[in-house]
Amino acid sequence: MSEDLDKLISDAVEKALQGDMDVINNIEDRVTRSKAKAALVKAKRLAKAAIAEDAPKPEESKAVEALPAELSLTEKVSAVIAKKFPNTIESDEENSHIQMKGKNWFEIAQYLRDNPDFLFDSLQCVTGYDFGENEDLEVRYNLHSMTHNHAIEIRIKTDRNDPKVPSVEKVWRIGDWFERETYDMYGIVFEGHSNMTRILCPEDWEGWPLRKDYEVQETYHGIVVPKVKDGWE
Amino acid sequence: MGVIHGDLMTLNIGPQHPSTHGVLRLKVKTDGEIISEVEPIIGYLHRCFEKHCENVTYDQVIPYTDRCDYIASMNNNFGYAVTIEALMEIKVPERVEYIRIIVAELNRIASHLLALGTYGLDVGAFTPFLYMFRDRERILDLFETLCGARLLYNYIWVGGLSHDLPRDFVESVFSFLDYFEPKIEEYNELLTYNKIFIERTADIGVLPPEVAISFGVTGPNLRGSGVKWDIRKDDPYSIYDKFDYDIPIGAGEMGTVGDCWDRYYVRMVEMKESAKIIRQALKGLPAGDVHQALPKKIRPPKGSIYKRTESPRGDLAYYIVSDGSPIPYRLKMRSPAFTALSVLGEISQGWMMSDVIAILGSLDIVLGEIDR
């Protein structure tokens, strides 16, 4: 009996890998169906790993080894990016972050994620920032590597009247929601994002709440929005 | 491919629905009973936490952090206090560190009890929920003697604590642990190894580790996928490096690594480990004054900081920018439940309607923290 089941599952998985999910979905018994689905996830993962092994390994960057060892990670990353993508780094003086220009950010993000010396596979946090009324806006990214257990911060300034930064939604999937939140609060548009809509505020809310010059709209659908008192008693 | 597809049906769950754990709306597209797309719609509990913080002083922020993740307020206080202390370079007394860890781990147990109990409820087991709430109540009683509040504590302050431990607190926690540890076996018999529960959760909603990392999923959800990652061990804060405890990870005991059962079971084992930490901390608790390092006025120097701590739901981080005034210039909270919910759409595809509820419950979200 169990051999029959195994065969049924393996057949269904094979069909599903060819794109026909109905075989799995049509399995009557619930437990068997779950097993088949789990087997499918596993098979897909194995296939992916096999492809990754076959693919030519990205050339190991010698650029990092050539740098003096006493440099901090931030300085190393900024030196490597400056070499590979000229005219993108503005400064890394404070040694706590890298100040960058917006252009090429998508490619740089991909490079930082895939470079074996850095492997920043996790986007920890995206923070919007306002320098004050009539000043620039900024987006701050905190990257982290699960493999090397190291972290850096990248900052990208953008113009207040036409704030635009390339989206990294396709590099780190969580970028999707983080960027929507930043858009919601600061009005910074992430170019290339698949669904640039508000996430926390209602869709038809006016203004960008976390900007320093934000003024609350007086009414919303006929409801009076309570005013925030100046200061606190 | 010769497959006939019928029209997709759009189904709406929530925003008011018992199984969404708060005010969450799910827009579900189904093909028959099979899910082809889930879109979580959030924001119903948005209370402008970050905007509020830009208008109050640093110490006034602490009660607001309570109200973000209202199931684990101690851990939220803890994360905030640790961040500001790092920015101001305050060294807190040894006794404070120990008490913080005791209350944070107690709160972790309380939070997991709620998560596991309501998870049983989601998949149709009512009894374990009552057992777990009975025991969670004892922790809340302990906290009540500690600071007068049952849920929103405002207990851990920048540089110290609001009160020292009350009389007999150490003994009460010891007797609670003596009572609680054997209870874990009881939960296992009631729920963990229940045949129906296993069939509802094992092999369902498999979250592969690389997907979890790309979505920024952390905490028990990530560990359920077999990734040994815990801020308490990998980027230690406070005095977590002094204690001896293990980090449980999912092993696919009942099905595939990273399924709902694994995520559930990691939480169950974590409660045991937390109890272990609390015992060690209680034994090593030194004497001292908990108000000694409280700053008169909190005015961090100019600069910014990003600091992570391990809340029961994962990587809770604060990004704080100070301009040298007593009011934060910018405060961003990176909430672990926010990232956990974002993965729901990815891992629910192809499952049944009832499985989506099981997957959502296994992610253990708190809407107060997602919407802030």
Condensed to tens digits (0 to 9), the pLDDT of residues B74-84 reads: 999 999 999 99
Cβ contact, residue pair B317, A202, below 8 Å = no
The number of beta carbons lying within 10 Å of the beta carbon of residue B354 is: 15
Q: Which residue in B has a C-alpha nearest to residue A145's C-alpha?
A: B213
> What is the pTM assigned to this prediction?
0.82
Optimal mutation site among A33, A127, A205, interface B, most CBs of chain B within 10 A: A127
* pLDDT for the residue numbered A57: 46
Cβ contact, residue pair B216, A122, below 8 Å = yes
In this predicted model, what pLDDT tens digit does every residue of A70-82 receive, in sequence order? 677 777 777 787 7
Cβ contact, residue pair B342, A201, below 8 Å = no
Contact B270, B104 (CB under 8 A): no
Q: State which H helix or E strand residue B178 sits in.
A: helix B169-187
ipTM of the complex: 0.86
* Tokens representing residue B119 in the block: 């998870």
Query: If you average pLDDT over every residue of chain A, what do you get?
Result: 79
Distance CA B35, CA B9 (A): 10
* pLDDT for the residue numbered A135: 85
Q: Is the pLDDT of residue B344 over 70?
A: yes
**Minimum distance, in Å, between the CA of residue A194 and any CA atom of chain B:** 14
CA A54 to centroid of chain Cα atoms: 27
Q: Burial letters for A92-112: b for 16+ Cβ neighbours within 10 Å, e otherwise?
A: beeeebbbbebebbbebbebb
Partners of B234 on chain A (C-beta within 8 Å) are 149
Q: pLDDT below 50 — which residues of chain A?
A: 55-61, 232-233
Q: Where exactly are the structural domains of chain A?
A: 2-54, 63-218
* pLDDT for the residue numbered A54: 54
Helix axes B260-284, B353-362, angle to 10 degrees: 20
* Percentage with pLDDT > 70 across chain B: 98
Report DSSP state, residue A56: P
Distance CA B205, CA B261 (A): 9
* pLDDT for the residue numbered B143: 92
| B321 Cβ under 8 Å from any chain A Cβ | yes
Phi-psi region of B126 (alpha: psi -120 to 50; beta: other; left: phi over 0): alpha
More confident residue, A229 or B263: B263
Distance CA B369, CA B46 (A): 9
Partners of B223 on chain A (C-beta within 8 Å) are none
Contact A172, A122 (CB under 8 A): yes
Burial class (CB in 10 A: 0-12, 13-18, 19+), B63: middle
What fold is seen in the domain A63-218? Answer: Beta Polymerase; domain 2 (3.30.460)
Omega into B301 within 30° of 0, i.e. cis? no
| B334 Cβ under 8 Å from any chain A Cβ | yes
Ordered by where they begin, the domains of chain B are: 9-371 (1.10.645.10)
Q: Is the pLDDT of residue B4 over 80?
A: no
* pLDDT for the residue numbered B81: 92
Helix axes B94-122, B260-284, angle to 10 degrees: 150
Quickly list H helices, B225-286.
231-234, 260-284
* Percentage with pLDDT > 90 across chain B: 28
Report DSSP state, residue A65: H
| B301 Cβ under 8 Å from any chain A Cβ | no
In this predicted model, what pLDDT tens digit does every residue of B20-65 receive, in sequence order? 677 888 888 888 888 888 989 988 888 888 888 888 889 889 999 9
Q: Is the pLDDT of residue B219 over 70?
A: yes
Least confident of A58-67, B43-52, B165-174, B299-308: A58-67
| B351 Cβ under 8 Å from any chain A Cβ | yes
